[in-house]
DNA sequence: TTGTGACTTATAGTCCGTG
DNA sequence: GCACGGACTATAAGTCACA
C-alpha cells in the first residue's frame, strides 16, 4: 500500500512526470530544452506547473524524451513504468 | 485488419477524439462549450486541429466529457474504448 | 544547474456576425 | 447545429539578468 497520490492539477502531473523522466535520462533542463527547441527557463517553469503549456509544446517535450504524450499526462505514470521495467 | 491510422498531429488526435466522444454523448458543440466553460467557436476549431489548445483547457474539456485527459491524447482511443465496451 | 522577476510579442480565446 | 470571418482582449511563449 502506498499513499493515494494527492489531488494534483494536470499541470502538476505533466510537470512532475516531465521532471522525473528527464532525471531518469540524466538530462539537465538545458539539455531537454535544447532537444525540444524550447528555452531552459520555460522548461523549468513547466516542470513546476507554473505555465499553462500548450499541446504543441507538450508534444515536443514528449518527443524529446522519447515517450508518448499520453504517458506524460498520466497521473499513474510511475506505476505504469514499473510494470514495464519490472 | 484495419488501416494503420495515419500520422496525425497531437492536435488532430485530440480534436478527433474530442469530436467522436462528444457525438457519442449526444452533445452539440455548444453543450460541450458550456460544460467546459469555453466558447463554441473555440471548441469547433479545437476539434478540427486548428488551435494550439492549452493543458488547462484540455483538462476542462476532458472533465466536461467525463474522461481522463490521457484518453483524449491517445491515438488509439477507439480500440481502447471498444475493449472496455466490448 | 536551477529558480525568480520583469519584460515583450505572439497567439490563445472571445464575441459579434454570416451562410 | 456547424464553419468561417473580423475585431477585439487575455494570456501563453519566449528572452534576459541575476541569485
Output the pLDDT for position B3: 47
Q: What contacts B66, CB < 8 A, 6 or more positions away?
A: none
A61 touches strand D (CB under 7 A): no
Q: Å from B58 to nearest chain A CA? A: 8
Q: Average pLDDT, stretch A28-38?
A: 96
Q: Which residues of A touch B55 (CB under 8 A)?
A: 10-11, 14, 52-55, 58, 73
Out of A10-14, A79-83, B59-63, B66-70, pick the least confident. A79-83
Whether B14 has its CB under 8 Å from any CB of chain A: the answer is yes
Output the pLDDT for position B39: 95
pLDDT digits (tens, 9 = 90+) for B20-36: 999 999 999 999 999 99
Report whether pLDDT(B73) > 80.
Answer: yes
Which single residue has its CA nearest the C1' atom of nucleotide C11?
B52
Output the pLDDT for position B86: 63
Stated length of chain A: 86
Output the pLDDT for position A86: 63
Average pLDDT, chain B: 90
**Percent of chain B residues past pLDDT 70, beyond the cut:** 87
- Grid coordinates in use for A10? 494536470
Report whether pLDDT(B4) > 90.
Answer: no
Whether A7 has its CB under 8 Å from any CB of chain B: the answer is no
For B58-82, b/e burial (b = at least 16 CB within 10 A) is: bbbbbebbebbbbbbbbbebeeebe
- Grid coordinates in use for A75? 497521473
Q: Which residues of B touch A63 (CB under 8 A)?
A: none
Q: Which residues of A touch B71 (CB under 8 A)?
A: 70
Which carries the bigger pLDDT value, residue A79 or residue B59?
Answer: B59
To 10 degrees, what angle do helices A55-64 and B55-64 make? 110
Whether B46 has its CB under 8 Å from any CB of chain A: the answer is no
Single out the residue of B39, B75, B31 nearest to residue B57, CA to CA: B39
Report whether pLDDT(A3) > 60.
Answer: no
Amino acid at each position: 500500500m502506498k499513499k493515494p497520490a494527492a489531488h494534483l492539477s494536470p499541470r502538476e502531473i505533466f510537470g512532475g512526470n516531465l521532471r522525473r523522466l528527464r532525471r531518469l535520462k540524466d538530462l539537465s533542463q538545458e539539455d531537454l530544452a535544447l532537444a525540444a527547441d524550447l528555452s531552459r527557463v520555460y522548461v523549468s517553469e513547466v516542470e513546476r506547473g507554473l505555465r499553462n503549456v500548450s499541446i504543441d509544446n507538450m508534444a515536443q517535450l514528449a518527443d524529446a524524451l522519447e515517450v508518448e504524450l499520453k504517458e506524460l499526462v498520466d497521473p499513474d505514470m510511475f506505476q505504469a513504468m514499473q510494470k514495464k521495467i519490472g
